[in-house]
């Protein structure tokens, strides 16, 4: 049963009982090699063979065996059901639903070796769902702009007023931590009801037309990191990957779900963004050390954000 479940998890299609087919890819071949060796160790028999279609029609039939329409149909039903609960769901409920559906979607995508129109339509529905959740959890999420990221002189950005949208979520909370921790230790923060309330002399971040916002495929945290020459910091690189995955999707980061759950819990418990940053700043300090692989306390640890 363990071997059968592994074959199913790899996305193998069954040619007949005991005969399974996968696309000829190096990573998949290695996994089948290991599975065949395990089968033999358990007293069974296994052969790993390379097969080729004799005709184009046979090739199409092989590919059709890997269709994921049934998996996508089940996922789409779950997506629809989650969408109906938007009006009654708490932020924590929405976060849990988003995490579960993301895991389910990425599991299907990982074994969707020959994407088709069903893949494309489901992807569109998934992205629309993610956008809708983000609108509820974090209204006013910025649209990415094109352009290069200029390297800035940190000395010119000291003791400044920094402003972003209130009710902090992942990118804004992490960006505020990065500013206070690595860019402007004397920073003063304004939490805005609306981006339109941003004072002319404040440095806005993570909203449309802000001084620092999404650029290309980089979220605000990554833009700030690059703007101030911090891209070589191992801890900040790890944090950036986590923030990116939570804010716009991307590669799986094991720590992401835990951080999102902590932030969601803190946001339910405290109404004040200053207090939220006090608590989540300590979490980010710890995650920074974790990603950096350090054993000593981080220098300049956040004590207060005002």
Give residue 240's pLDDT: 97
Domain borders along the chain are 2-64, 69-137, 154-292
Instruction: Look up the pTM and report it.
Output: 0.61
Alpha helices in the chain (DSSP H): 2-9, 26-41, 56-64, 69-84, 91-110, 117-137, 170-178, 220-227, 234-248, 254-269, 273-292
Give residue 138's pLDDT: 67
Between the CA of residue 110 and those of 1, 104, 247, what are the distances in Å? 22, 10, 20
Give residue 139's pLDDT: 65
Give residue 294's pLDDT: 57
Q: With contact defined as beta carbons under 8 Å apart, do 156 and 224 qualify?
A: no
What are the tens digits of pLDDT across the range 82-104?
Answer: 988 887 887 778 878 888 898 89
What are the tens digits of pLDDT across the range 244-282?
Answer: 988 887 788 889 888 988 998 898 888 899 999 999 999
pLDDT at 160 over 60: yes
3-class state of residue 230 by DSSP: coil
What are the tens digits of pLDDT across the range 218-250?
Answer: 999 999 999 999 999 999 999 999 999 888 877
Q: With contact defined as beta carbons under 8 Å apart, do 263 and 173 qualify?
A: yes
């Amino acid at each position: 049963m363990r071997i059968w479940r592994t074959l199913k998890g790899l996305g193998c299609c069954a040619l007949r009982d005991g005969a399974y087919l996968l696309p000829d890819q190096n990573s998949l071949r290695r996994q089948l090699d290991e599975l065949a060796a395990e089968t033999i160790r358990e007293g069974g028999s296994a052969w790993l063979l390379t097969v080729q279609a004799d005709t184009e029609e046979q090739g199409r039939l092989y590919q059709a065996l890997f269709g994921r329409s049934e998996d996508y149909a089940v996922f789409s039903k779950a997506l629809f059901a989650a969408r109906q609960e938007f009006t009654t769901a708490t932020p924590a409920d929405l976060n849990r639903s988003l995490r579960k559906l993301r895991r389910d979607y990425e599991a299907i995508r990982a074994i969707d070796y020959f994407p088709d129109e069903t893949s494309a339509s489901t992807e569109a529905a998934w992205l629309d769902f993610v956008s809708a959740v983000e609108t509820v959890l974090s209204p006013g999420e910025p649209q990415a702009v094109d352009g290069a990221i200029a390297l800035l002189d940190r000395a010119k950005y000291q003791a400044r007023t920094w402003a972003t949208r209130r009710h902090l979520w992942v990118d804004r909370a992490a960006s505020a931590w990065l500013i206070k921790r690595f860019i402007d230790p004397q920073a003063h923060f304004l939490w805005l009801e609306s981006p339109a309330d941003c004072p002319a002399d404040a440095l806005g971040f993570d909203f449309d037309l802000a001084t620092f916002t999404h650029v290309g495929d980089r979220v605000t945290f990554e833009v700030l990191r690059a703007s101030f020459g911090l891209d070589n910091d191992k801890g900040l690189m790890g944090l950036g990957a986590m923030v990116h995955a939570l804010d716009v999707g991307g590669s799986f980061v094991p720590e992401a779900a835990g951080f999102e759950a902590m932030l969601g819990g803190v946001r339910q418990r405290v109404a004040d963004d200053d207090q939220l940053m006090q608590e989540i700043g300590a979490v980010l300090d710890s995650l920074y050390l974790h990603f950096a692989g350090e054993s000593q306390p981080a220098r300049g640890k956040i004590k207060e954000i005002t």
